[in-house]
Amino acid sequence: MLTGRRRVVRGVTLIELLVALTIIGLLLFAVLPSVGVWIRNTQVRNTASSILSGLQVARNEAIRRNVAVRFSLVSLTDAGVMDDTCALSSSGTSWVVSLRDPTSNCAREPVSVSNTDGADPNSYPNAVADANNPLIVDKAAGGVGGRNAVAAARLLDGSATADGVVFNGFGRVDNAGAIGLIDVRNETHNADYRRYRIEVEPGGALRMCDPTIATVGDSRRCRTFGAVTLP
């Protein structure tokens, strides 16, 4: 038999709410360091992948056009803005693919070979005629992928720093003092942070590897392992 009683709905007490918030806070406190490491590792990976992509663009464009194309690492006043403050730098995380030296001219737009419009000052014929035009193919500001990543480029034997590499029409390295390897890591040394190395072989082959792996036979191991003192 139904009685007319109404069911009393009990709410959450202030003490229960405080306990729940405390538990959530403790969980966040435990997880945040891992999230921070993940974010920094992602930034390092993004920077390394961007640099490798730039090198691939330079090599492929050299083969496609059958002309010498250069890849340059550059530093910027603001790492997230590709402007004319650019200077060649072995520690730059930004890069430019061009036919000429891009120093102080990185704000220029890429020039398309197919653009032959005589009225367009950025058309290929007009750009070639302009001695100050670096004839940019592609470019990327390193700060866009993450400002916590740093790079260090050197010759393949690690004996000196380098800031660029030129590929010829066969896709081979064609300049003295060319970049042979680029180490990319977080600006802070920490065992939890990933490190990557990009190797550029004389024949033009490009690969990204892990400079911390010493095991022979591991596909992630760098060919230059042990030959270079890491920065």
CB 184 within 8 A of CB 194: no
Set out the domains of the chain in order of their start, with CATH numbers: 14-209 (3.55.40.10)
Q: pLDDT digits over 87-119, tens only?
A: 999 999 999 999 999 999 999 999 998 888 878
- pLDDT classification of 230: cutoffs 50, 70, 90: very low
- pLDDT classification of 29: cutoffs 50, 70, 90: low
At residue 118, the pLDDT reads 79
- Supply the pTM of this predicted model: 0.83
76 CB contacts (<8 Å, ≥6 apart)?
82, 83, 85, 86, 92, 94, 106, 141, 142, 143
At residue 117, the pLDDT reads 83
At residue 231, the pLDDT reads 46
pLDDT above 70 coverage of the chain, percent: 87
At residue 229, the pLDDT reads 47
At residue 217, the pLDDT reads 87
181 CB contacts (<8 Å, ≥6 apart)?
153, 154, 155, 156, 158, 197, 198, 199, 200, 222, 224, 228
| C-alpha span between 224 and 38 (Å, rounded) | 27
pLDDT at 157 over 50: yes
At residue 192, the pLDDT reads 81
CB 104 within 8 A of CB 87: yes
Q: Say how many C-beta atoms besides its own lie within 10 A of residue 213's C-beta.
A: 14
